[in-house]
Amino acid sequence: MEENLFILLNGRRYSSRIWKSMAQKTDRISLFKIGGHDTLSLSDRTMGHLQSLPERQGQGIMSPKSDIRSAHKKLVQSRRNPVPTVDVIIEIKNKAGKKGIILIKRKNPPFGWALPGGFVDYGESLEKAAVREAKEETSLKVILQYQLHTYSDPGRDPRLHTISTVFVAKAKGMPKAQDDAREIRIFSRDEINFPLAFDHRQILDDYFRRKELKKEPRPKPGKN
């Protein structure tokens, strides 16, 4: 059964017999799924060994040696994907009982004040990631209320292309700066009059605009 398995690399197929023969000579060969096919993620060391192999005929069809590295490079470049992240707008009251939201001052670049958030772990849902990141950076256990929006501008994060799903949550207690947070504070809307990291100014503008639209008109006083 194993002899009938093929691994696709940039449109060319290689039999499992070839990779099995390489097992003791190379480091780990990572397999992942693309379009329902098993695809290789090869290290430089593995690439070097592939180039030293003779070309094969029949079941194990090797591409010309000069094509192997370029084929893999094209595959990796063509399959680069944005990285999923989450941000959380945490609604909370300060010590005086005034409503506000939590911002953290980042200890790692890009520096500045920002919403709590971070990267989604493999095998983790967006919701669980949001709750986890909020806990790690603020020490608070949050209750998610709703999903605000997803932000995908390739330039939103100067480090790499990320796609952030933003949640609105509620929490009680006093936050404590943890993990990536150097400082932490509860801000009212009027107090957030300074630049924010990433695209978090746009996110908060959208959040406050939605709050305004969702406001129910106050009932008119009745006549006695």
Active-site annotation holder among 183, 191, 212, 216: 183
Percentage of the residues of the chain whose pLDDT score is greater than 90? 55
- pTM above the 0.85 mark? no
Backbone φ and ψ for 135, nearest 5 degrees, come out as -65, -45
Sign of CA dihedral 148, 145, 88, 193: positive
pLDDT at 214: 78
Is the pLDDT at 3 greater than 70, yes or no? no
Q: CA-CA-CA-CA torsion for 43, 45, 49, 55, nearest 10 degrees?
A: 30
Gap between the Cα atoms of 202 and 212, Å rounded: 15
**In 3D, which of 215, 184, 198, 178 has the Cα closest to residue 90?**
184
**In 3D, which of 65, 66, 92, 113 has the Cα closest to residue 174?**
92
Is the pLDDT at 115 greater than 90, yes or no? yes
**In 3D, which of 178, 92, 188 has the Cα closest to residue 143?**
92
**pLDDT, the chain, mean:** 75
Contact 142, 90 (CB under 8 A): yes
Q: Active site includes 183?
A: yes
User: Tell me, what amino acid is at 104?
Assistant: I
Which region among 53-62, 117-126, 153-162 has the lowest average model confidence (pLDDT)?
A: 53-62
**Where do the domains of the chain lie, and which CATH numbers do they carry?**
2-78 (no CATH), 83-214 (3.90.79.10)
